[in-house]
Amino acid sequence: MTGGARRARAFGVAALLGLGAIVGSIALSAPGPLPSYAIPISAGTLIHVAASPLH
């Protein structure tokens, strides 16, 4: 809630983050071409979040 967002929005974003972690772990353990795409997408998301302004 650092950016002035409401508690409900912060909870929603936290829930989406948790859902993304679950979907990502399923994608990495799935057979087929999904694991080859999951790792680069994860890295791109990490860079995007790291570069975002948190004020």
- Three-state secondary structure along 4-28? CCCHHHHHHHHHHHHHHHHHHHHHH
| pLDDT tens for each residue of 3-42 | 666 888 888 888 988 888 888 788 778 788 777 777 777 7
Per-residue pLDDT at 4: 64
Establish how many alpha carbons lie within 13 A of residue 24's alpha carbon, considering only the half-sphere containing its beta carbon. Answer: 14
What DSSP designation does 2 have?
T
Q: Looking at residue 2, what is its pLDDT?
A: 58
**pTM exceeds cut of 0.85:** no
Distance CA 29, CA 4 (A): 37
